[in-house]
Chains A and B, each alone.
Chain A
Amino acid sequence: MPKKIGVYICHCGSNIAGTVDVEAVAEFAKGLGGVTLAKDYKFMCSDPGQDMLKEDIRSSGLDGVVIAACSPLMHELTFRKAALEAGLNPFLVQIANIREQCSWVTEDRALATQKAKALVAGAVARALSHEPLEMRRVEVQPSALIVGGGIAGIQAALDLADAGVQVYMVEREPTIGGHMAMFDKTFPTLDCSACILTPKMTAVGSHPNIQLMAYSEVEEVSGYIGNFRVKVRRKAAYVDHDKCTGCGLCMEKCPYKVDSEFDQGLSKRRAIYVPFPQAVPNKPVIDRDACAYFKKGKCRVCEKVCEPGAIDFEQQDSIEEIETGAIIVSTGFQAMDMTAMPQLGYGKHAEVYSALEFERLNNAAGPTLGKIVTKDGREPTSVAILHCTGSRDENYHRYCSRVCCMYALKYAHLIKEKIPEAAVYQFYIDMRCFGKGYEEFYQRLQEEGVRFIRGKAAQVWSGKEYRAIATDDTGLEVDDAQLVVQAEDTLLGKLVRVPVDMIVLTPAFEARDDAEQVGKAFLLNRGADGFFLEQHPKLAPVSTTNDGVFIAGGCQGPKDIPDTVAQGSAAASKALSLITRREIEIEANTAYIDEELCSGCKNCLDICPYNAIDFDDEKNRAVLNEALCKACGTCAATCPSGAIRARHFADDQIFAEIEGVMSI
């Protein structure tokens, strides 16, 4: 029986009708083979427009519809839904994009009209060859996996767990807390970071719906939206945490010390350690690389002092498998290594600090108990804070790191609070204080007497170096222990040299070194800046192109704590709306493998980005797992024997469309 196609040409107000002669196009469509009716209408997406479509489907018994309107990204779903309501399989709706691809990009009315006709002819030809497809429904596991226990992950975990969802939190370090746990105060309110964070950390540790897997890493991810299967490596802590009471005696007695990562190398920790006193879980792990027993076969002091007998040198890594409906990746960021800019003297001069080092120096629980002192114990009389070191810089990172201006102001405040007579200089390019209460904080710091020099610091020398190379007669007197910062104050148009006792750099906020590897595991794309890419920068900021996997926090790009927490909650809400659906529809236009034609060459197995194709060794044929197939079509294009067909995008369907377009 010949098919009956209905064609609808949308005016889109004047968006289309202003350039395209819509009536002429409708008239033209009426003459195309298979077309039963063709109409033009002001707004097809409006309720009356949809009602007209439904009415026509029912009364004329249409078995195919072409809507010539805007991009399918805008309203394909709208019209598919309308068709379904009228009893027509939604895959029999074909969109001809005559707005973005025609009226908006063509000035000449006659040419635009001709192009619209060609696009409609193509769509009609395509619609004639379409087949009805059924959407598939799969169950959703009512649980979520959160990878990374910084503040983004913590927020997401608590939101989900409070909603009754089973949450698995995987954290690589022995404790959750991330970068925020290292900070002393937070801008612009100057809340104590630990005071607002540790209650949340504790809540994660004790929540009945959260299974915390610290000192663990995701090893492998398989499955698909609603039904992921994840292998987690639980690293051997060499301490049985079920037996350990957390008394801390082992750490006290351990004779071996190494640099504390948490204190940025400014203090020492033992070979058996918890990173900091408020750690969650508050149970120690043994660092194999630092432990004398593992290195030399002797010591075992911890074992001797441990009353509950929790030390277990024989412990091995174990693999735990979890099933989860949604995944939130919140793996955070890292600070750029400042030795990349030798002119700033980091790593060469003791009193040039990176931001995280200065955070620890300020922290009441840090290596100096919060006293701002030089490495030889002096209280600085002057400090320079250098902005944009590695950020907004083609040589390192083009983007603005978004947090440095603000924490630089915070540092200035903390210095002024602790050493009121100290001079604090900010060397900046532009002050970016855009958040709520941020500009006010900037003004407050100006009131507190911080000096602003508008110019990027170009060079740093030690006092000794400076005296060896300086020949000027500026009368600048510098002693060995001091540092000299050189910049142009662009507002004065003068080269300035400022002798200071201490310098704090603001290293660029960058994607972690292992972002590529993590991205591959979770099938996440990364932007040119290395951070994970959201599905849409405005409208889908925590979704990704991998359905069911969401991102939050510093792994997506530089952001401050308020934005990170907001993303954590946003990702939790996206995960929750997925989980609470219990069942979801997935792509109907999957690939299809014709067993008769398959030659067993296995080309498709390697090429499939979603691991959706298996191989049946007995039959020597490729087998498609439809649940995993994302309908990308790569296998269909690769298959040398033409055995794989991409449903809804089959060769004959596409050729029909091309022939339709070319017929004009």
Chain B
Amino acid sequence: MEVATPFLEVAEAIEQGGAEDLNVCYQCATCTGSCPWGFVEPLNVRRLIHLAQLGLEGYEGEDIWRCTTCNTCKIRCPRGVGIVDLIRSIRMMIGETGLIPQSLRAALGSTKSEGNPWSGERKLRNKWAADLGFTPFDKNEHEYLLFACCMPSYDSRSRKLVEAVAKVLSAAGIRAGVLGSEESCCGESIRKIGDEGLFGNLAEGNGKLFAEHGVERVLVISPHCYHTFKNEYPELGTSVQVTHMTELMASAIAAGKLDLKKPVDAAVTYHDPCYLGRHNEIYDAPREVLRSIPGVKFTEMIRNRDCSLCCGGGGGRMWMETKFGERFSDLRIPEALGVGADVLATACPYCINMFEDSRLNLNKEDEIRIKDVTELVAEALA
């Protein structure tokens, strides 16, 4: 057995980095027992916390990069420890020494120079908007600014999602404008990777842009943008009212503004994205929308709502390679099939991307389709 001596300076630095409640953890291990990694290669969250409490070596190892920030441990933690903030704080410390994983360095570098983590050119950002009939945001004309995440600009699958958004908004008579290539990544994942400085720059840049254009209400398609605009930007001086596409659709349907006539004959199940569900407690809006689509047979999976299984793409994992056999998204496809679904619906571009990959890798292309809730609504519009 090894001999260890507490190194409290390290523990204090972690506390100061955003994990103020580190010491109230009483080591019950609800976190380890709740972590989605338990289904593939258990991650000992509890031990990580205890190492951090004592500043002992080991907290900075590879495990710290496995966390997807899915928030399951956090919402169940009996002592209310901000475990996701703790992970972020440790990553921040490691980031200062430059020891972050190679794949994440590329995402950070691209975000720094091009404003997106996808190594895409800044000038291509929001280029889709004009093709889909969106005009530059004008506060006198538009009810919302549509902040559509980086992905539709650089990923063809996500591009389909904004096509659906355009169709739905137009059908509902909701006017939304876009900002051009000046806009940058919201920075949610960047912050989770531990680059607080870069996150600050992104938030400041976007905040300034919002202010210049008089943006008050922002419509988002990604729960990650939703989360950071709603919960993190205000601390940095930018307060806008944020609406997720599923919330907008739920209220539009309730107000009779969307006429869903065309049946979508499908057995649909719904995957709660971590940042929409556990981080922001939006569970009902997407379900209400799905239930109002004619022809949809809605079924719940075993792991639903706050027990939903993470897709594996949060916390920077989108840009990291996950070994075959350890991908959460690979578990979700059979779970959806197991409840008889032929459509796995969700409401997050990251989740869609992860599931599309798994669907290909598992050779399930003929058995199941991956759809954003917005896409299903668009299908139901005549």
Listed residue (B27, B42, B78) with the most chain A CB atoms within 10 angstroms of its CB: B78
**Which 3 A-B pairs rank lowest in CB-CB distance, beginning with the nearest?**
A458-B33, A488-B32, A488-B29
* Stretch among A391-399, A590-598, A634-642 lining the B interface: A391-399
Whether B28 contacts A469 by the Cβ 8 Å rule is no
- A residues contacting B by CB (< 8 A) are 342-343, 388, 392-395, 429-430, 455-459, 461, 465, 468-472, 486-488, 490, 493-495
Specify which chain A residues have a CB less than 8 angstroms from the CB of B175 in the assembled complex.
none
Whether B29 contacts A343 by the Cβ 8 Å rule is no
B329-343 interface bits toward A, Cβ cutoff 8 Å, 1 = contact, 0 = none: 011000100100000
Given A342-B305, A458-B34, A472-B39, are A493 and B44 also a contact pair (CB < 8 Å)?
Answer: yes
Whether A395 contacts B80 by the Cβ 8 Å rule is yes
Specify which chain A residues have a CB less than 8 angstroms from the CB of B38 in the assembled complex.
486, 495
Given A388-B78, A395-B76, A488-B44, are A470 and B39 also a contact pair (CB < 8 Å)?
Answer: yes
Given A429-B26, A469-B335, are A495 and B79 also a contact pair (CB < 8 Å)?
Answer: no
The prevalent SS among residues of B at the interface is helix
Whether A459 contacts B34 by the Cβ 8 Å rule is yes
Does B119 sit at the interface, judged by CB under 8 A? Answer: no
18 more A-B contacts (CB under 8 A) besides A394-B77, A457-B33? A342-B306, A343-B307, A388-B78, A394-B79, A429-B27, A455-B33, A456-B30, A458-B32, A468-B335, A469-B302, A469-B335, A471-B330, A471-B331, A472-B40, A488-B33, A490-B46, A493-B47, A495-B33
In whole angstroms, what is the CA distance A394 to B330 when docked?
34
Does B364 sit at the interface, judged by CB under 8 A? Answer: no
- B residues contacting A by CB (< 8 A) are 26-34, 38-40, 42, 44, 46-47, 75-80, 302-303, 305-307, 309, 330-331, 335, 338
Specify which chain A residues have a CB less than 8 angstroms from the CB of B303 in the assembled complex.
469
**How many pairs, one residue from A and one from B, have CB atoms within 8 Å of each other in the complex?**
85
| CB of A491 to closest CB in B, whole Å | 10
Whether A490 contacts B39 by the Cβ 8 Å rule is no
Whether B28 contacts A456 by the Cβ 8 Å rule is yes
Specify which chain A residues have a CB less than 8 angstroms from the CB of B28 in the assembled complex.
388, 429, 455-456, 490
In whole angstroms, what is the CA distance A393 to B303 when docked?
23
- The 28 listed contacts between A and B (C-beta, < 8 Å) are A342-B305, A342-B307, A343-B307, A388-B78, A392-B78, A394-B79, A394-B80, A395-B76, A429-B26, A429-B27, A455-B46, A456-B28, A456-B29, A457-B33, A458-B30, A458-B32, A459-B34, A459-B307, A465-B302, A468-B335, A469-B303, A471-B40, A488-B32, A488-B42, A490-B32, A493-B44, A493-B47, A494-B42
Whether B33 contacts A487 by the Cβ 8 Å rule is yes
Whether A471 contacts B39 by the Cβ 8 Å rule is yes
**Nearest CB to that of A387 among chain B residues?**
B28
Picked from A394, A468, A494, the residue with its CB within 8 Å of the CB of B302 is A468
In whole angstroms, what is the CA distance A652 to B229 when docked?
56
Whether B331 contacts A459 by the Cβ 8 Å rule is no
Specify which chain A residues have a CB less than 8 angstroms from the CB of B338 in the assembled complex.
468
In whole angstroms, what is the CA distance A393 to B76 when docked?
9
| CB of B182 to closest CB in A, whole Å | 42
Specify which chain A residues have a CB less than 8 angstroms from the CB of B78 in the assembled complex.
388, 392-395, 456
**Nearest CB to that of B39 among chain A residues?**
A471
| CB of A335 to closest CB in B, whole Å | 18
In whole angstroms, what is the CA distance A457 to B40 when docked?
18
In whole angstroms, what is the CA distance A490 to B78 when docked?
16
Specify which chain A residues have a CB less than 8 angstroms from the CB of B331 in the assembled complex.
469, 471
Specify which chain B residues have a CB less than 8 angstroms from the CB of A457 in the assembled complex.
33
| CB of B143 to closest CB in A, whole Å | 37
In whole angstroms, what is the CA distance A392 to B30 when docked?
12
In whole angstroms, what is the CA distance A163 to B44 when docked?
61
| CB of A466 to closest CB in B, whole Å | 9
Specify which chain B residues have a CB less than 8 angstroms from the CB of A486 in the assembled complex.
33, 38
Whether B32 contacts A495 by the Cβ 8 Å rule is yes
In whole angstroms, what is the CA distance A461 to B303 when docked?
10
| CB of A461 to closest CB in B, whole Å | 8
**Nearest CB to that of A454 among chain B residues?**
B29
Specify which chain B residues have a CB less than 8 angstroms from the CB of A342 in the assembled complex.
305-307
Specify which chain A residues have a CB less than 8 angstroms from the CB of B47 in the assembled complex.
493
